[in-house]
Amino acid sequence: MSKPGSWVMRLLAGVLLVGLAGCGSGPSPDITAPPQNEFVFGLLMVGPANDHGWSQAHFEAGRYVEKNVSGTRMVYVDKVNPSDRPGTTPAQLANDLLARGARLIIFNSDDMKDGALEFARAHRDIPVIHISGDSAWPEGRDYARLPNVANVMGRMEHGAAMAGFAAAMTTRTGRIGYLGPLINDETRRLAAATYLGARHAWTQVLKRNPGQLRFKVSWIGFWFNIPGVTADPTQVADGFFSSGFDVVVSGIDTTEGLAEAKKFSTPDKPAYAIPYDYVNACAEAEGVCLGVPYYNWGPAYVQHVEAVRAGSWQPSFQWLSPHWPDINDPDRSAVGFQKGAALAPAAARELDAFIGALAGGLNLWTGPLLYQDGTVFLKPGETATDVQVWYLPQLLQGMTGQSVSNQ
């Protein structure tokens, strides 16, 4: 357990409103204890709660819990990242949520892994959910064997493939840009899944030469723009559209790609974009939005909250697929794809057929597939395991862009 701060600092931490970081290194006193029958759960978000992307999807999932599980209340802190909260750790902020009555803490970013584990080890009686991590996966490389840690992630590889498919069905130039965040296992596999969906549309539906499809990945260095630290996603998107790419697929938390597509699009040279993470992301520029692959965290959150309340919660690793009978079912599907107004009717019909094929067992992670450096990833007919997909070490042949971070 970390040492408590001064009584003044702890008192201030106990009364600060939602979104402010705690002042001491230890937990604040529970000045405003929740009603006896109320269940409070805490959420730490890497970005703003209104980012139209990753963090907003989590925030709205918390509201979904409050609506669907009586007697629950969310407490949260957003902008949990080194730029917005320098010198403050996720574990410290989780202690503040604990002091405000939280009995379950959700860490919503891969970057919070160390903080989530630190907090979990210090508070063995508090269930911890680390989104996108692998600490609770017995087959994972970083299995932590902690009795109070769970991981939840959506199989966005399916949603990314749908995005790539829609992009390839739409492009006139055969050039698709991918706006990537930082480079890690998760972001590599999602960029690769987008490419595999695009390649499938290009070769199997449009019957075109795979060598004529250009798929370029440009990484900005974090999940969203941090001025002076990351590459500016607006400038990266501009670079794509200025150099002949007419579709930009986003893998970052925010919607700069969509905004730039709207700016560049003309009747003679249309430009399109596909944002990421959040079901309503297309609303920012509907006329150029082909659709959005999104996470729906609400049902998983409900499951965990109800289990903690019932005393039946267990550590688990969940990599959740779409609900194939209806991938946009808000009460059952962990991953969905919302079609955009700019997606042509013919392309939409082909996308529906592609989704049906995925539901029927089509696996794009089937060989022959080569890594970007030309070495064999999957032999002909070989299908990737979950471990191989999760820890994809390189981009795939047919993709251009950096596979490994220089840092």
Q: What percent of the chain has pLDDT over 70?
A: 91
Over the stretch 285-301, which tens digit does the pLDDT of each residue have?
Answer: 999 999 999 999 999 99
Asked if 72 and 185 sit in the same domain, the reply is: no
Query: Does 397 map to a domain?
Result: no
List the domain range (segments joined by +) for residue 46.
Answer: 7-154+297-320
Asked if 122 and 251 sit in the same domain, the reply is: no
In sequence order, what are the beta bridge partners of 214?
175
Query: Does 387 map to a domain?
Result: no
Tokens of 86: 């320098």
HSE of 73 in the Cβ direction (CA atoms, 13 Å)?
15
pTM of the entire predicted model = 0.90
C-alpha separations of 295 from 86, 324, 343, 370 in Å: 28, 14, 20, 29
Asked if 70 and 149 sit in the same domain, the reply is: yes
Query: Does 123 map to a domain?
Result: yes
The answer to whether 333 and 296 have CB atoms below 8 angstroms apart is yes
CATH number reported for the structural domain that contains residue 287 in this entry: 3.40.50.2300
| Separation between Cα atoms, residue 53 and residue 56, nearest integer Å | 6
Asked if 231 and 287 sit in the same domain, the reply is: yes
- Strand arrangement, sheet containing 128-131: 72-77, 39-44, 102-107, 128-131, 149-154, 317-320
| Separation between Cα atoms, residue 192 and residue 188, nearest integer Å | 6
Element (H, E) at 187: helix 185-200
When the pLDDT of each residue in the chain is averaged and rounded to a whole number, the result is: 92
Averaged over 302-310, what is the pLDDT? 98
Number of domains in the chain: 2
Asked if 350 and 208 sit in the same domain, the reply is: yes
Convert 25-53 to b/e letters by CB count within 10 Å (16 or more is b). ebbbeeeeebeeeebbbbbbbbbbbebbb
Q: Which residue has the tokens 């931490």?
A: 13
Torsion of CA 243, 249, 251, 256, to 10 degrees: 70
Q: Give strand ranges (E) for 181-279.
A: 214-219, 247-250, 272-274
Query: Does 32 map to a domain?
Result: yes
| Separation between Cα atoms, residue 177 and residue 165, nearest integer Å | 13
Asked if 144 and 280 sit in the same domain, the reply is: no
Asked if 266 and 281 sit in the same domain, the reply is: yes
| Separation between Cα atoms, residue 271 and residue 273, nearest integer Å | 7
Work out the pLDDT band at 229, boundaries 50, 70, 90: very high
Query: Does 169 map to a domain?
Result: yes
Neighbours of 384 (CB within 10 A): 18
In sequence order, what are the beta bridge partners of 399?
215
Asked if 351 and 240 sit in the same domain, the reply is: yes
Asked if 82 and 231 sit in the same domain, the reply is: no
Averaged over 51-75, what is the pLDDT? 97
Query: Does 383 map to a domain?
Result: no
Q: Report pLDDT for 314.
A: 97
Q: Report pLDDT for 405.
A: 82
Q: Report pLDDT for 2.
A: 34
Q: Report pLDDT for 184.
A: 95
Residue type, 141: R
Q: Output phi, psi for 288, to 5 deg.
A: -120, 5
Work out the pLDDT band at 35, boundaries 50, 70, 90: low
Averaged over 336-344, what is the pLDDT? 98
DSSP code, position 361: T
Cα-to-chain-centroid distance, residue 40: 24
pLDDT over 60 at 11, yes or no: no
Asked if 241 and 125 sit in the same domain, the reply is: no
Asked if 143 and 29 sit in the same domain, the reply is: yes
Q: Report pLDDT for 33.
A: 55
Write the DSSP string, 103-155: EEEEE-SGGGHHHHHHHHHH-TTS-EEEET--TT-TTSTT----TTEEEEEE-
Reference 75, options 88, 86, 65; nearest CA is 65
Query: Does 278 map to a domain?
Result: yes
Over the stretch 86-106, which tens digit does the pLDDT of each residue have?
Answer: 999 999 999 999 999 999 999
Work out the pLDDT band at 34, boundaries 50, 70, 90: low
Tokens of 117: 């584990």
C-alpha separations of 115 from 124, 315, 341 in Å: 14, 17, 41
Query: Does 392 map to a domain?
Result: no
Tokens of 305: 């909250």
Asked if 27 and 150 sit in the same domain, the reply is: yes
